Structure 1
């Protein structure tokens, strides 16, 4: 069984915190893949079209789907750069739960400002902000301004529980 939990959205929306907690709850049968870690730390490449991180994320996803019960992938993962790879690679999964944080810029900025160590601010975030960047996966769920991190964690765990029950 390979279940992929895909958590996407703009910078500062809370994706990483949620993904790490879900990974903790599903351990030791889960793999956590962070776009930021692969792109910025492992490869040190800019987030441009056709960057090296796209292929490496696809390979790590493939490995996870073959060897782990759950794969959690989180990141901005913009449609124009990662959409095709995600749609193609995720066809191999038994089940995909896709969540997209479609928050207002104001809410994204508010959440970002709660972080302790931030190396960028409103100006950079505004230049990166892309609203409504869904990738067209079946049952891709939209997360709005009202959903807290705890609500999101509960939603994902509830979805997994319902899937396992069937």
Structure 2
């Protein structure tokens, strides 16, 4: 129920879970819409802490394609809600790779597994 705004409580929870996972599992994947203005400080701290262990990817996919993919879910979000969330080109600036619409899942997996 936490609002997606700077300094929300979920930011420290995410950071705590990643630090716990680093000590207890082989791989950690943090996936989601992580707005730069909300999550950048946490992500920069993690990048500094984990250096080469942390890989960052950005999906540069236009809104219509994102919305189309959303409609494949069992419980898709409404178009209006997704438009409210949408931030075009909201990059951190240190992405290891930017994927585009041209990169299908096998291409993305091959790239990610190659750079580990």
| Normalised TM-score (structure 1) | 0.63
How many angstroms does 1:140 deviate by?
2.8
Distance 1:115 1:147 in 2: 20
Query: Aligned to 1:115, what secondary structure does the other structure show?
Result: coil
Distance 1:115 1:150 in 2: 20
Distance 1:65 1:106 in 2: 36
Aligned equivalent of 2:56? 98
| Normalised TM-score (structure 2) | 0.87
Gapped regions of structure 2 (runs ≥ 5): none
Aligned residues: CA RMSD:
1.6
Higher relative CO (Cα under 8 Å, sequence separation at least 6) belongs to 1
Gapped regions of structure 1 (runs ≥ 5): 1-43, 161-166
Q: Decide which structure has greater strand share.
A: 1
Aligned equivalent of 2:106? 150
How many angstroms does 1:122 deviate by?
1.1
Distance 2:105 2:74 in 1: 17
Distance 1:147 1:116 in 2: 24
